[in-house]
């Protein structure tokens, strides 16, 4: 019995520290830039193992006020048109994805920008129930402690946008040779168009498929109310 009680106490301490650290870092990242993410570390290890790839981690944190208003408008149009209205989860999209998944159909993912931000900042890329459960937990935390503007700011600064390229500033400088605050509607839509697979597609060399997505995103940008985000 002593052994069982000892194990129980250890588990309780682990759980307690998990909540303390997860809430602590969530509150901290409300005010300070996210220095590095698990995905960035994983990609560095992948690059190190592949002799054909150079080690690259290009990121440059910028305030939401230093980002063109076209960028949040484009990613909301492309990734999560209910971003300003939901509490982190698009239940209707999730239900539709679940039903189509049961029928074996390929559908667009139901992850919101809040969920993607939680995953990028705190977690690793994997399709497991544990990861999805933790993603829901951290999504709840950032929706509780951060504003929508902060969620968008972090999202645009940490998301993978190419091989070793993270964030809108690095992407803008790499693909268009200009700061993110100078991005045009067409350029922002091109960046948003490649987000589903940024290591396969490039805004600088758009395929016909990406050009088609760009046109669709531009049309959605026109139909949506201005996202704003403090700009």
Is the pLDDT confidence value at 97 over 70? no
215 and 62 Cβ atoms separated by less than 8 Å: no
76 and 227 Cβ atoms separated by less than 8 Å: yes
Is the pLDDT confidence value at 198 over 90? yes
Per DSSP, the three-state class of 135 is helix
Per-residue pLDDT band for 66 (boundaries 50, 70, 90) equals: very high
Of residues 114, 73, 74, 119, the one with CA closest to residue 93? 114
151 and 34 Cβ atoms separated by less than 8 Å: no
Give the mean pLDDT of the chain.
91
pLDDT in the model for residue 92: 81
Q: What is the pLDDT of residues 103-120, one digit of tens each?
A: 555 555 669 999 999 999
Query: Kind of pairing, strands 58-59 and 165-166?
Result: parallel
Domain residue ranges in the chain: 1-32, 33-223
Is the pLDDT confidence value at 138 over 70? yes
CATH of 33-223, one of 3.30.420.280, 3.40.50.1100, 1.10.3810.10, 2.30.29.30: 1.10.3810.10
Cα-Cα end-to-end distance for the chain: 61
pLDDT in the model for residue 100: 61
Average pLDDT over residues 97-107: 59
User: 165 - beta bridge partners?
Assistant: 58, 162
Is the pLDDT confidence value at 24 over 90? yes
pLDDT in the model for residue 108: 56
Quote the pTM value: 0.91
- Number of neighbouring beta carbons within 10 Å of residue 60: 15
Radius of gyration over every alpha carbon of the chain, rounded to an integer in angstroms: 19
Beta-sheet strands, E only, within 30-144: 58-59
Pure H helices in 129-167: 129-145, 148-158
78 and 193 Cβ atoms separated by less than 8 Å: yes
Per DSSP, the three-state class of 190 is helix
């Amino acid at each position: 019995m002593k052994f069982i009680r000892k194990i129980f106490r250890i588990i309780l301490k682990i759980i307690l520290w998990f909540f303390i650290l997860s809430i602590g870092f969530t509150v901290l990242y409300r005010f300070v830039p996210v220095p590095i993410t698990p995905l960035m570390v994983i990609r560095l290890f992948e690059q190190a193992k592949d002799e054909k790839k150079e080690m690259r981690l290009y990121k440059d944190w910028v305030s939401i006020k230093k980002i063109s208003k076209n960028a949040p408008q484009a990613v909301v149009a492309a990734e999560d048109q209910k971003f300003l209205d939901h509490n982190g989860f698009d239940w209707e999209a999730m239900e539709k994805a679940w039903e189509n998944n049961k029928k074996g159909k390929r559908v667009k993912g139901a992850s919101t920008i809040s969920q993607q931000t939680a995953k990028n900042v705190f977690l690793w890329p994997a399709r497991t129930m544990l990861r999805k459960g933790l993603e829901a937990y951290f999504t709840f935390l950032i929706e509780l402690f951060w504003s929508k503007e902060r969620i968008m700011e972090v999202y645009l600064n940490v998301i993978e946008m190419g091989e070793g390229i993270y964030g809108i500033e690095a992407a803008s400088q790499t693909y268009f040779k200009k700061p993110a605050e100078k991005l045009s509607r067409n350029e922002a839509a091109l960046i948003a168009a490649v987000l589903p697979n940024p290591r396969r597609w490039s805004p600088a060399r758009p395929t016909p498929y990406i050009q088609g997505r760009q046109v669709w995103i531009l049309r959605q940008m026109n139909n949506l109310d201005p996202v704003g985000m403090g700009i």
